[in-house]
Structure 1
């Protein structure tokens, strides 16, 4: 059993919308396929991966450094104790001759490769990824059986040109109609008084049992973050997300000292070491705050396993984690590691956002497909994009 090819293709997911920091009109992702010489039902077994939205495609890094190292590795060096291709050994081969630090686009590129490697491993074992992770990769302090369903929330509420409050209300109402019970909207891309009107407009249409989170995407300096925090304290928000720069742990600590409601952050931390510094210095409160580290953007599940162990060691429970990303890879991880939940992007960042076809959102939760691997091919709109990588 060996890897015979690894291919990458850049795919656009542009949209005419913005958050507080970036416009998505030129957004794209890398889709990667690891092809093996293992034949099942007349076809080679292939693992697929891609990066979460918000970070751009990583074709150059993948093609010039990461993919060649894996293809150059002796075949036997990638076979693990279970007798098949091992994601952690693939990860080590890809990181050969890389210095510590420099967490940025490299972390994203490695996350793409790592997703494909775990998809491949589960397909070779002929089990869903969440079951493989529960059997082989979970921390022993995590309960055994994977979760049958995972809590998910609908992330939307972006800024669109010429789109007013009624359109925002209609969008959020549509998520509730789909079965979501928590919705999220953007703030920080408009003046405070306008953002407050947008928040109030959404709260006005949410039925009992539903709530709202807000996300500033790291827009604010400390004074502005505190000003927003003071104003947001008047509302029953699910959380206040990424008020300031993700690496400004001191500002986050000062915000946590003043804002009593739940805070959420972590999606733009791209390594185990940054996540550990967040826990050490960010002043977050294990009884209420949410960690959003995204394996697909931060060296993959292989690195995220270290983060989970660190959380246990630091007195946190990983059930405070709700990974950013809104796709099936993070959904499988949430199930296997008993995380609090997973983000979702209904109707945007297609075809990469969202989950398998035929699995509706039920009272804020979604079930996982019983298919080998991540189950990416179970999403009809995504399946041809995956195949096109090999065209």
Structure 2
């Protein structure tokens, strides 16, 4: 069958959720579970595209609505499908509706790569194969003191990471300053250290923390204030000059256009699972590049590895080490190289195919 005769025949979603051994907390939230949804877009050529989302009721409901529109459609018409599904009048401008759209859009781009027989990064750009990582950790957890926090971050460096990120915002500023100093002392001066408040602060508290950490060489301050507090971003930047990273809770190119317009953000962090999928991510990356800004996306590393390999302004990939005993979701999981990079898998599409062993053994919700 030629690509011109390709049609969507079904969309199936497999949802999984299981408890963490130890709950983890950031500046505002505590997480007790792991969860993932695999969105499978099936075609009449036997090619299946995979996107990923989360098993949230509203996200599920929007996906079901979108699925009804897509049976029989050409999956390669990604722009037309995106424009039809992103309909603020019918579905809303941002939130679970856009997350549902994102998971489907990503699966469609996975199909595009598989039809072409190319990894997505070669299909849409082809800039590099190896992406530097930073390790996302440093969560608050029961019985995690300064010693345990420092040991955790040193472990990431020993794994190969040349940059590490830790949480702030759940305890007093004085306590967090001590935590950051402990990490800096443990990893040394040559490792990048980033802090992430997950929107926990008002601007004046974020300013206070940034000023008290001026001697710690913080590479960036992530999500210091609420996502819509554009004036707060401006106030923090003007008061301290700290490098601000944000965008994991922003949606579509329109939201990132407005973030860029603040003049306060240096690192944009779109999450392709939320902001509109591959279609929108590539537009955001191009807009950022035109404004001299870098992209460091938030979230699951395999959802973004092909995208970062395709663009010239990718700074680092967020990397989540799997705790011992955590199942591997993906068939093409990419390990960390000795130089602190991850190599994009040389397989057609997005490399988001689920591991069959995971599908057999994990407890399915739906």
Q: Same fold (TM over 0.5)?
A: yes
Contact 2:53 2:103 survives alignment (8 Å) = yes
Match of 1:230 among 192, 199, 211: 211
Match of 2:299 among 311, 325, 349: 325
Change (3 A) 1:373 1:7: same
Change (3 A) 1:95 1:308: same
Aligned to 2:252: 271
Contact 1:151 1:341 survives alignment (8 Å) = yes
Cα distance in 1 between the residues matched to 2:18 and 2:271: 19
Q: Which moved more, 1:249-258 or 1:289-298?
A: 289-298
Match of 1:261 among 227, 230, 242: 242
User: How far is the alpha carbon of 1:9 from its aligned partner?
Assistant: 2.5
User: How far is the alpha carbon of 1:92 from its aligned partner?
Assistant: 3.4
Determine whether 1:11 maps to 2:16: yes
Counterpart secondary structure, 1:295: coil
Cα distance in 1 between the residues matched to 2:328 and 2:229: 30
Match of 1:150 among 131, 134, 140: 131
Match of 1:182 among 163, 169, 181: 163
Cα distance in 1 between the residues matched to 2:117 and 2:59: 29
User: How far is the alpha carbon of 1:356 from its aligned partner?
Assistant: 3.9
Determine whether 1:335 maps to 2:309: yes
Aligned to 1:316: 291
Computed over aligned residues only, the root mean square deviation of the Cα atoms, in angstroms, reads 3.0
Q: Deviations over 1:29-58 (max 9, x none)?
A: 3321001121xxxxx2211111389x8882
Aligned to 2:3: none
Change (3 A) 1:164 1:387: closer
Change (3 A) 1:180 1:52: farther
Determine whether 1:345 maps to 2:336: no
Counterpart secondary structure, 1:20: coil
Determine whether 1:293 maps to 2:270: yes
Contact 1:87 1:121 survives alignment (8 Å) = no
Aligned to 1:137: none
Aligned to 1:51: 53
Counterpart secondary structure, 1:214: strand
Determine whether 1:213 maps to 2:194: yes
Q: Which moved more, 1:255-264 or 1:183-192?
A: 255-264
Counterpart secondary structure, 1:32: strand
Aligned to 2:80: 89
Determine whether 1:123 maps to 2:125: no
User: How far is the alpha carbon of 1:199 from its aligned partner?
Assistant: 1.0
Cα distance in 1 between the residues matched to 2:54 and 2:240: 29
Aligned to 2:31: 24
Q: Which moved more, 1:349-358 or 1:23-32?
A: 349-358
TM (normalized to structure 1)? 0.82
Extract unaligned runs of 5+ from structure 2: 1-5
Contact 1:51 1:296 survives alignment (8 Å) = yes
Aligned length: 357
User: How far is the alpha carbon of 1:250 from its aligned partner?
Assistant: 0.6
Change (3 A) 1:384 1:294: same
Contact 2:162 2:192 survives alignment (8 Å) = yes
User: How far is the alpha carbon of 1:97 from its aligned partner?
Assistant: 7.8
Cα distance in 1 between the residues matched to 2:195 and 2:144: 18
Change (3 A) 1:2 1:331: same
User: How far is the alpha carbon of 1:23 from its aligned partner?
Assistant: 1.3
Q: Which moved more, 1:21-30 or 1:106-115?
A: 21-30
Aligned to 1:66: 66
